[in-house]
Amino acid sequence: MRKGNGQPAKLSYGGHVLMENRNGLCVDILVTESTQAEHRAARSMLTRARRRHIHPKTLAADKGYHVKEFVAHLREHRIRPHVARIEGRKTPGLDGRTACTEGYRISQRKRKRVEEIFGWLKTVGGLRKTRFIGQARTQMAAFISGAAYNLLRIAKLSDSGVKA
């Protein structure tokens, strides 16, 4: 990835997380090339989740996921898209009827919790600057860091008396 004109290219990866909204647990984590679109990574994580018999009813996401093909994919699999809308963009399957529900508002509030996962993975999990060469090794480090995050999160939830 190159940060600007005249700058050297550096090897970099993008990190993507599928999070469970109720307790803020990391369901899946994916490391991709930094140039891959976010919505393509989300599609592959949803496919992996279906193989593990995880079938989400809704999916909350930011404006980067407001893409016609991604919303259509969610609707195909009976997942309600709680994607932040871009004003002026008309997308079939993501209109005012979806955005005016209480569930949509709650999802948009809770989706910010995913930033807690990213923050933890970068500071404590050591993924800000990976020391592994290659995407496969970086992916394994991300899985291990994600599992450690979930263990700590579950411990905090059990201390506070919340049922996971």
| E strands in the chain | 13-20, 25-33, 58-61, 80-83
Tokens 């004109």 appear where?
5
What's the pLDDT band for 164 if we cut at 50, 70, 90? low
Taking only the tens place, the pLDDT of each residue in 32-84 is: 988 778 899 999 999 999 999 999 988 888 888 888 999 999 999 999 888 88
pLDDT at 100: 82
* Helix, strand, coil percent content, the chain, rounded in steps of 5: 50, 15, 35
Percent of the chain scoring above 90 in pLDDT:
41
Q: Model confidence over 114-147: pLDDT tens digits?
A: 889 999 999 999 888 888 888 999 999 999 999 9
* 128 bridge partner residues: none
Rounded Cα gap, residues 108 and 74, in angstroms: 17
Q: What is the pTM of this model?
A: 0.80
Rounded (10°) CA dihedral 59, 63, 101, 57: -10
CA–CA gap between residue 111 and residue 24 (Å, rounded): 9
